[in-house]
Amino acid sequence: MARKSKKSANYLSARTIRRTAKENRRITRQFEQKLNRKHVAPSEYATVMKDPANVLEVEDLKTYFFTDAGTVKAVDGVSFEVPRGKTIGLVGESGCGKSVTSLSIMQLLQRPQGQIVSGAIRLTQDHGQAVDITKMPIHAMEKIRGKDVSMIFQEPMTSLNPVFKIGSQLDEVIGLHNPDMDKDAVKKRTIEMLELVSIANSGAVYDMYPHQLSGGMRQRVMIAIALACSPKVIIADEPTTALDVTIQAQILDILRRLKDQINSSIVLITHDLGVIAEMADEVVVMYAGRIVEKGTVEEIFKHPSHPYTLGLMASKPVVSRHVERLYSIPGNVPNPIEMPDYCYFRDRCDRAFEPCYGEYPPMISLSPTHKVACYCYQQPADKKE
């Protein structure tokens, strides 16, 4: 009996695991060697933005995790743009690759198993120049992380160092990216930043440890750290999930106000469609490591098109609508190690028809800004129902 269950589809023999681990080491060593190079000419990772109005362009990004059980294609060909001064909302089911996309942009993937295998992440620099983060070695990335692109994480307690005072953690970031500033100027800027994020007793908070602050205050400190060097792009990965709704509203308000003050852009990741509707200019919907739909916030909310987006909208509670129970999309996401070669949503889709049994659908334009990866929207001539 035990023997039989061992032979189930998910069973991996010790030999297979050893072989996969060896192969993974060979692959990841090559990526690591490239990342760890010390003397790399900036021209090697210099690039130009496709559209100068964008601050960030992610093109066909593929980020894989080389695990002993197999390769997890966490992000598999993601492309989106972040225009200057705009907020992009990134939504999708848990595990669809939102955090891995943002960690790839920050070069903060769990290495060596997590690696960007291909694609481009173009980030604008001063004087019309740009860099491709996928080609940058670690030491070059350290110079722009926190300065040009920064991230606010979901749980501030795990991002703040518990053994250092708030002030010194903020001082460190400001000092690191502004080597010309003396100690007093750095402290002055830290206090200013704490005031900007609406911390009233900034002088006292400067000398406090993270555990002495409430969740909302810690998240304000995280925002202060992320915005201290006026980054061009702020990635906020579920910044308010751990907070109650009134604090959430305050935090989002601060984020929006500061974004406008320093004229930067936000990539906002959240499960809360209400927050997206309020904050975002454009929305990108991800499903199982790919983008299934993108468009302006009006297009996505007024004309959601992909069956997954439609399901997502239907699962949203609405005060005036009486329902017996909230809608949930039936079925599960496919196993990330063995992704099918057809539409990843097909097996959960009630609109699946013949073409869906072919290869993964291409991105189809519904308007210049609205795009959807679904055969339902192909030209009528191609559509066989």
Ligand X SMILES: Nc1ncnc2c1ncn2[C@@H]1O[C@H](COP(=O)(O)OP(=O)(O)OP(=O)(O)O)[C@@H](O)[C@H]1O
Binding region for ligand X (CB under 6 A): 65, 67, 72, 74, 92, 94-100, 110, 113-114, 336
- HEC string of 239-302 equals CCCCCCHHHHHHHHHHHHHHHHHHCCEEEEECCCHHHHHHHCCEEEEEECCEEEEEEEHHHHHH
Q: Between 187 and 290, name the residue whose CB sits nearer to ligand X.
A: 290
Q: Between 194 and 291, name the residue whose CB sits nearer to Mg ion.
A: 291
Site string for Mg ion, 43-82 (x = CB under 5 A): ----------------------------------------
- The candidate with the shortest Cα–Cα distance to 89, out of 262, 312, 369, 295, is 295
Give me the least distance between CB of 270 and ligand X, in Å please: 9
- Which of Mg ion, ligand X, none binds 89 (CB below 5-8 Å, type-dependent)? none
Q: How far apart are the first and last CA of the chain?
A: 46
Q: For residue 7, what are its two tokens? A: 């032979």
Distance, in Å, from the CA atom of 171 to the CA atom of 188, rounded to the nearest integer, reads 9
Give me the least distance between CB of 356 and ligand X, in Å please: 23
- Which of Mg ion, ligand X, none binds 239 (CB below 5-8 Å, type-dependent)? none
- Which of Mg ion, ligand X, none binds 100 (CB below 5-8 Å, type-dependent)? ligand X
Give me the least distance between CB of 113 and ligand X, in Å please: 6
Binds Mg ion by CB under 5 A, chosen from 54, 63, 87, 99: 99
Q: Between 81 and 237, name the residue whose CB sits nearer to Mg ion.
A: 237
Give me the least distance between CB of 275 and Mg ion, in Å please: 15
Looking from the CA of 374 toward its CB, the CA atoms found within 13 Å total 25
Indicate the pairing of strand 364-365 with strand 282-287: unpaired
Give me the least distance between CB of 16 and ligand X, in Å please: 17
231: left (phi over 0), alpha (psi -120 to 50) or beta: beta
Give me the count of residues in the chain: 385
According to the binding rule CB under 5 A, does residue 24 interact with Mg ion?
A: no
Question: Which residues make up the interface to Mg ion (CB under 5 A)?
Answer: 99
